[in-house]
Structure 1
Amino acid sequence: MTSPASGGPSATARKASFGFIFALALMNSVSFGIMIPVLPNLIKEFTGGDTAAASEWNLVFASTWGLLQFVCGPILGLMSDRFGRRPVLLISLFGLAVDFVFMALAPGLWWLYLGRILNGMTAASFSTANAYLADVTAPDQRAKVFGWMGSAFSFGFIFGPFIGGQLGEIDLRLPFVAAAGLTFVNWLYGLFVLPESLAPERRTKAFDWKKANPVGSLVLLRSRPGLLRLASVGFLFQLAHVVLPTIFVLYMGYRYDWGLAVLGWTFLATGVSGVVVQVFLVGPIVKRFGEKTAVILGAAAGCVGFAWYAWAPTGALYLLAVPVFAFTSLMMPGLQGLMTRKVEPSEQGQLQGANQALMGLSSIFGPVIFGEAFAWSIRHEGFHLPGLAIYLAAAMMGLALLLILGAARPPPREPGA
């Protein structure tokens, strides 16, 4: 459906498409969130209750997933530019559903590892969803829409870990069964309901393997003024946030002796705070101050929030940092809005593929940095600083803040818009 005046999607089509993709992202994030408080404890069960060993195995899982993302993310991104967003979303959701089945049935660590390999090869749901939204949203509205997409992830962060924590108290495998079922329903939703966003005439004419590799995809980031700096800010954000799935469940259990139920309530509070920022503050802040200011505020909040989490000697003081950390949710919507303005409509998938490759790199190095830092800090009595890994994440957010402060003002509109 097109508007006669513009030749692009009409307002009705844009709203309908956003509704479809938001619902898909919401279901996907809930199913992913269900496993957050449970998977580290399942790994810990397989390692005989050794927290440090569980942290190191978590490192192996996450790094393997990141390596496969680095290799396969650009391929999936370019596929979405050539064949459309919908087929790639369906591939990604199917891979995630199979991964959850492996987790539910795994008799040992190697089954879990095999599931992570499959998921790492196919995971592109959020990056492709971002390309989808860039297709159907005007450039000056993208930061607001990306904020809403971030809220879908936060809703998943609210309900997923809470559900996972409660089900995990019954049986550690039950949350994965629920996640597999929800993801399969999501796949059916995408198969029968989700429309395609990228019209044939706006797709790339051929699949270029030179661009479908990590190095080739990253060349795009150097081909536009300022894009590489923005991508570097995004990489530091992603790298710092790898600390959350890598050690936080183990960290809070070790430092505050929190069980699954308390962890579920903590993730609930964190998710609600993030949703408030994404739904009610991203749009007004971007409209009033611009996308770059939103990124600056988000980076500053991440730096302060992580440092507070690392320092907090009690659980109550830890929770006081949750509203501060919530403003980190301003960062990625503003950053995505800035980056999508710098590429052509037919390159949005390639851009998101490059971002996916950077996310893969962060998933390779992040678990090594944070997992080893956490394991080392709790094993060595002479330097007993459990929050060391989180202090490192705070430093990364501080570096991202310095980079965005030095970025030039963005152009008023994207090429070819």
Structure 2
Amino acid sequence: MNRKFWITALIAFINSLSLTILLPIIYLYGKQFGLNDFQTSFLFSIYSLAQFFATPVIGKLSDRFGRKPLLIISLAGTVIANFIAGNATTAIVLFLARFLDGITGGNNSVAQAIISDITTPENRAKGFGILGAAFGLGFILGPAISLLAQEISLGASFFVSSAIALVALLITIFFLPETIQTKAERGHNIFDLGLGNLIKGLATPNIGILLIINFFIGTTFTIFTYAFQPYFINVLGQNSKSLTLMFLLFGVLGVIMQTLGISILTRKFELVNILFLALFVRSLSFSLMPIVPSIVYFVSITILFSILNSLVQPIINTLISLNSKPEEQGTAMGLNSSYLSISNAFGPVIAGMVINQSNPTTYGYPLYLAGTLTFLVFLLAVFTRKRYAPKVKPRQ
């Protein structure tokens, strides 16, 4: 791995800090503005919905004009949006800030395209694993920083997030070189910016089925990521600090698996088989979580879940990259992020609709639903494997 790779990994890590500082407090921050559980689900959804339309455009433009300028724009949007959110005095301003962060939120897809530019097909799974680990490391330090910021206020977390995104922006401007070797041709209409690819991508051989699988993966996962927060607080009787510690646990286990685990597993098993195992364990864990309303039991199941869960997205990213042409890596990663984003918009709303605040028992329903639907995604991935299995076997 060369200097460009490690600079990109550093930027991804800092960017993940900016994101993970906010994850433990968005639900409770929305509550401060008088939003109910269903309304707070839209705070998660509006960000993802905006990303759905933005990321294919950002990905396509990065193929055309280069990775660096588009990464600068994306990070600048995060800096501004989180500063506005921290200063919000009404729910409308908060929603607008989340929308702005989403519409400029191509940070992750551009970073993935950079990794595709600078790694060989054989080493791409390892590259995405390290990138995922950099993101996972943010899950360790981000919640820890969030705990400190919460001592001031929940809104202070947005200011800290904005400042950290500014650091990533400055590193990108001054230290990250351009990585794209072959630029795509200029477009002639709005569909050439990538919006048309939202439909055409589904019909692309090998790529289309992976986009569909990842859409369902994202939907089921975000049903969990939203639902586990009110379940953790209202059923298990925990608070914002213990919720933050749970995200810290996700991060620690994720980094271990994405640095050591993925290297070991890819030497011994095919990528698709690792994906199948991770999806099956995810499905089982979701279904088991709400059976016993005990914090000790819940944390135990969460550890089982976290061990393999962090492998899902790096493996999907690798499979999409290996099935894409070199000059279309940004477009492919933009499409992947876009469909993942729209799935992230559906998941919280589905969870919010299932929950009934007056009946605490219903807080466990979305977890059962996530487990059942994830098992169906697992079956879909198994039965369609011949359509996307890579021709290149990753190695160390």
TM-score normalized by the length of structure 1: 0.88
1:96-129 superposed Cα distances (whole Å, 9 cap, x missing partner): 1111101211111111111112111100111111
Is 1:363 the counterpart of 2:349 in the alignment? no
CA contact (8 A) 1:162 1:261 kept: no
Give the RMSD, CA atoms, in angstroms.
1.9
Q: Which amino acid aligns with 1:325?
A: F
Change (3 A) 1:366 1:211: farther
1:207-222 maps to which residues of 2 (within 5 A)?
207=187, 209-222=190-203
Q: Could you say which residue in structure 2 is the equivalent of 1:271?
A: 251
Q: Which amino acid aligns with 1:20?
A: I
The alpha carbon displacement at 1:251 in A equals 2.2
CA contact (8 A) 2:51 2:103 kept: yes
SS state of the match for residue 186, structure 2? coil
Question: Counterparts of 1:207 and 1:193 in 2: how far apart (Å)?
Answer: 29
CA contact (8 A) 1:237 1:400 kept: yes
TM-score normalized by the length of structure 2: 0.93
Q: Could you say which residue in structure 1 is the equivalent of 2:332?
A: 351
Q: Which amino acid aligns with 1:159?
A: L
Q: Which amino acid aligns with 2:381?
A: I
CA contact (8 A) 2:224 2:370 kept: no
Q: Could you say which residue in structure 2 is the equivalent of 1:234?
A: 214
The alpha carbon displacement at 1:150 in A equals 1.3
CA contact (8 A) 1:157 1:268 kept: yes
Question: Counterparts of 2:9 and 2:315 in 1: how far apart (Å)?
Answer: 18
Q: Which amino acid aligns with 1:334?
A: I
1:233-261 superposed Cα distances (whole Å, 9 cap, x missing partner): 21122112213542333221111111122
Say which of 171, 176, 192 aligns to 1:189: 171
Q: Could you say which residue in structure 2 is the equivalent of 1:324?
A: 304
Say which of 38, 55, 66 aligns to 2:25: 38
Q: Could you say which residue in structure 2 is the equivalent of 1:86?
A: 68
Is 1:106 the counterpart of 2:85 in the alignment? no
The alpha carbon displacement at 1:210 in A equals 2.3
Q: Could you say which residue in structure 1 is the equivalent of 2:123?
A: 141
The alpha carbon displacement at 1:157 in A equals 1.4
Q: Could you say which residue in structure 2 is the equivalent of 1:154?
A: 136
The alpha carbon displacement at 1:364 in A equals 2.6
CA contact (8 A) 2:86 2:159 kept: yes
Question: Counterparts of 1:316 and 1:411 in 2: how far apart (Å)?
Answer: 40
Say which of 223, 227, 230 aligns to 2:204: 223
The alpha carbon displacement at 1:88 in A equals 1.1
1:62-119 superposed Cα distances (whole Å, 9 cap, x missing partner): 3322322222221111001001111111111111111110121111111111111211
Q: Which segments of 5 or more consecutive residues in structure 1 lack a partner in the other structure?
A: 1-13, 48-52
1:197-346 maps to which residues of 2 (within 5 A)?
197-199=179-181, 202-207=182-187, 209-224=190-205, 226-326=206-306, 327-346=308-327
Q: Could you say which residue in structure 2 is the equivalent of 1:405?
A: 382
Q: Which amino acid aligns with 2:327?
A: S
Question: Counterparts of 2:301 and 2:368 in 1: how far apart (Å)?
Answer: 14
Question: Counterparts of 2:7 and 2:52 in 1: how far apart (Å)?
Answer: 28
The alpha carbon displacement at 1:379 in A equals 2.7
Q: Bigger CA drift: 303-312 or 139-148?
A: 303-312
The alpha carbon displacement at 1:170 in A equals 3.0
Q: Bigger CA drift: 269-278 or 77-86?
A: 269-278
SS state of the match for residue 365, structure 1? helix
Q: Could you say which residue in structure 2 is the equivalent of 1:72?
A: 54
Question: Counterparts of 1:21 and 1:220 in 2: how far apart (Å)?
Answer: 26
Change (3 A) 1:411 1:314: closer
The alpha carbon displacement at 1:308 in A equals 2.2
CA contact (8 A) 2:216 2:377 kept: yes
Percent of pairs with identical residues: 28
Q: Bigger CA drift: 272-281 or 394-403?
A: 394-403
Q: Could you say which residue in structure 1 is the equivalent of 2:5?
A: 18
Is 1:386 the counterpart of 2:366 in the alignment? no
Q: Which amino acid aligns with 1:89?
A: L
1:188-235 superposed Cα distances (whole Å, 9 cap, x missing partner): 111101111102xx11021353243444334134221x3222222211
1:37-75 superposed Cα distances (whole Å, 9 cap, x missing partner): 22221211110xxxxx43222222233223222222211
SS state of the match for residue 321, structure 1? helix
Q: Which segments of 5 or more consecutive residues in structure 2 lack a partner in the other structure?
A: none
Question: Counterparts of 2:195 and 2:109 in 1: how far apart (Å)?
Answer: 15
